[in-house]
A and B are shown apart, each in its own frame.
Chain A
Amino acid sequence: MRVASPFNLNLKDIRLIRRSSLPRWESILFSLSGLVLAFVVTGVLFTIVGVDPLAAYWAISQSFANPILLASTIERATPLLFAALGLVVAFRLNFWNIGAEGQLYMGAIAATGIVTLHLTTYPFPKVIVLPLMFVTAFLLGALYGVFPALLRAKFQVNEILSTLMLNYIAILLGNYLIYGPWQDPGSHGFPNSRIYPPEALLPSIPYIGGSSGFLIAAIASVVVYIIMNRTTFGFELKVTGDSVRASRYAGMSYTRVVALAMVLGGGLAGLAGMSFMSGIMGRMKENFSGGAGYTAIIVAWLAGLNPLVAVMAAFLFGGLLVSGDTLQITLNLSASTTNIFQALVLVFILASEFLKKYRIVWRGVG
């Protein structure tokens, strides 16, 4: 009797039939079951280690229920949303921008640069500080994003690898600045930039608290939606993303499309970096992002590359991040516990993506 092993299983015993279409409700069902499975498995893991799963889930939910935590959730969601929006544009083009982290850093550097300039040599009129920071953060992020785009267009450089390297360079640049020329003299050698003055901070949302940056990001998501669906550029993005050859045939220039896409992508990531400074931390520190650029990839992907859904997805992820702290305080669990949950959700949804594309027909073994 032949034993089925993963190595001879692929095409002899299991027939994979590509689905031609999937009714919407089935698609949602698959995604939801992925979510449920993740909950269950995490719960089991908790139980094994002696943690009460219900208590853990209650703690996570507090990110949305408790008003103070909610404000935090909104804050942490903001950079995720900005960056994810940028990634939605890039990924739609099949340009795998892993460099959101670096572009984010460049945005933070730009913002911090303006603040440092403002506090030391050129005090700007207070009203224009914040807008100036926005603009420079966007520009610097855009420049840093266009560079790998051109490398790809002109030299066919694999963007996954190039943007990964650029991340490190940006992070190191940031470190240099806060250890060196932009270090806060009152910090006694700690790698901090100067504290942002009130005119450089994003105001809070009245009543709810939380940074108004989120509102700006939400508006940005609508803008991105409009760009992607209602402009000629958005059309070019779609066509080029689906078939580069057809886009050439239609007279579209790949270089132009990818460059524009990354101006948008890098620029939005830059805004994410700025929102870290002006919305959460109030100054630039080492490791301020906590890998937000990478988390944003997950957010964009889970949002199905839809800018409007990304708002919800970023919000949920913000809540997850906050709940990490909650779990640490209330249950003495590591903040990275939520990472396990996050990862399991991803794994199951990835698996369900496969089921959405293929139907499995088992044809007996032996």
Chain B
Amino acid sequence: MEGNPRVDSSLGDYLVELRGIVKQFPGVLANDHVDFQLRRGEIHALLGENGAGKTTLMNVLYGIIKPDSGESYVKGRKVHIRSPKDAIALGIGMVHQHMKVVEPHTVVENVILGLKEPRFLLDLKEAASKVKQISERYGLKVDPFARIWQLSVGEKQRVEILKVLYRGADILIMDEPTSVLTPQETHELFSSLKTMAAEGKGVVYITHKLKEVFELSDRVTVMRKGKVVITRGTEGADERELAKLMVGREIFFHPERTARPPGKEMLVIEGLNAINDKGLPALKDVSLVVREGQILGIAGVAGNGQKELAEIIAGMRKCTSGRVSIGGADVTNKPSKFVFEKGLAYIPEERIGVGAVPTLNVAENLAVKSYRYRPFSNRGLLNREKMAASASELVKRFDIAAPSVETPALFLSGGNIQKVVLARELSGVTATEPPKVVMASYPTRGLDVGATEYVQKVLLQYRNEGCAIVIISEELDELLALSDELAVMFEGRIMGVLDRDRFDPESIGLMMAGRAAEVKGG
């Protein structure tokens, strides 16, 4: 349309164009002037590690997040997407990583949930045949009258996709879909997506797996720290280069990380296999060794088995085979109480709700594991005075800012709550001696700069004093700064363990994206 300022004919056949998207969250610039285009009939991979900004960008497109600035164009027209309803009306559909289905309902019921029409009578047969039509067209096999709880994870995902297609979407956003699929299901998903693209639909495929980028996509955009690093055709791209771009950074070492000869083996994991809550394999033959006075960092995009690994080490999940030992003692599949009596400190991923109970006060939170031992209790009777005294001492030692030890934890800041967790875990079973092994899951997540620095300092301090420490984190910078050795997890496997002198963005990037690289030397 000549002269119409809202339609830019230079857009050609772009289904989606995002220009200059900026989104700032407290403390982090998630999207830094991002440009992104999706062509008709293409599968466009969005590659990056944790926190790169991929999901944020797509949330902007889908209307879940409002950008601070930038413009969005869909099918040539400038749009303001204020909510998912707007996005759906424009033909955009998003399939999330964590599925939103209602278990007892049938597939058809889930698909037609929330639609305006039909308003009163549901013609389930008609809807079911329409669902069947779509599912046959794109190879998304599923029985329309099956109940969701009867379906496998892969089938549940198909329901999500059907939901999106039923509403007439021609722009699909897939967010890390294969983390829950079997190889066979992955294969079927890919062929469905290719069919859709062949018909002229556009697919944005968020992933961190190089294999998928090459198998599936026509073009790939790599994002890092909120910026687009490159957008190019997939054909002919060099995966090493992509990996390097994904992860490339300068590596800064933490000043307090002094060289230290490693001591004897403290945490030994051999051949660990486990399944996750969905019944899929979470860990495949994992073996790791952590020595006294060493920090092992575990890198990798979230969802590749890190959570399950931490839980197994801490005795909160069972493994199907393999061995875990702490300080020589076998703790495989023993209850968590046994494991911490053997010297394991566990700083859980969920600070509030697991690590600390908000309604309990500081002293009680500090005593939540040690209460059953002397001197805090004797033959079933609690000694609150000793608990309070020990709590005061810990508060002082760990510099916890709380009005008193009787203050409920919910009044403390995030950083101070983490200090409570640290104080409790690092002072061991009787609150006086250090643990042998520390398992820290995402210990600085959500903390401000000061609290983050404190946590890192404390972890290093205990490392220097001889603890064996495992840190799982999504902040690669943090791991690179603190770790003596870095292991990268991908799809439940350890892709490789790098020694400090061999920290190299390319290798790390490759491993995080699914290509085995160097194995630890020396």
B interface residues (Cβ-Cβ under 8 A, vs A):
314, 316, 335-337, 340, 346, 348, 350, 353-360, 364, 367-369, 371-372, 377, 380-382, 384, 410-411
Contacts and interface: CB of A to CB of B under 8 A. Distances in A.
B354 A231 contact: no
A232 B356 contact: no
B337 A245 contact: no
Contacts of A233: 380
A224 B382 CA distance: 14
Contacts of B384: 230
28 contacts: A230-B381, A231-B377, A231-B381, A232-B372, A232-B377, A232-B381, A232-B382, A235-B371, A239-B357, A239-B360, A239-B364, A239-B368, A242-B358, A242-B359, A243-B354, A245-B350, A246-B356, A246-B357, A248-B316, A249-B316, A249-B346, A249-B348, A249-B354, A249-B355, A250-B336, A250-B369, A251-B336, A251-B337
Interface of A: 20-21, 229-235, 238-239, 242-243, 245-246, 248-251
B385 to A, nearest CB: 11
Given A239-B357, A246-B353, A248-B316, 9 more contacts: A20-B411, A230-B381, A230-B382, A231-B377, A231-B380, A242-B359, A243-B354, A246-B355, A248-B336
B364 A251 contact: no
Contacts of A231: 377, 380-382
A20 B409 CA distance: 12
Contacts of A242: 357-360
A245 B359 CA distance: 14
Contacts of B314: 249
Nearest to B359: A242
The 6 A-B residue pairs with the shortest CB-CB distance in the complex, in nearest-first order: A251-B337, A250-B368, A243-B357, A242-B359, A246-B357, A251-B336
A233 B369 CA distance: 13
Nearest to B410: A20
Nearest to B367: A235
A105 to B, nearest CB: 31
A239 B369 CA distance: 11
Contact of A238 (B335, B353, B364): B364
A251 B369 contact: yes
Contacts of A238: 360, 364
Contact of A246 (B367, B368, B371, B411): B368
B364 A235 contact: yes
Contacts of B410: 20
Contacts of B335: 251
Contact of A232 (B346, B350, B358, B371): B371
Nearest to A227: B380
A250 B359 CA distance: 16
A233 B371 CA distance: 10
Nearest to B348: A249
Nearest to A245: B354
B353 A243 contact: yes
A239 B360 CA distance: 8
Given A249-B346, A250-B369, A251-B369, A234 B382 contact: yes
Contacts of A243: 353-354, 357
Nearest to A240: B357
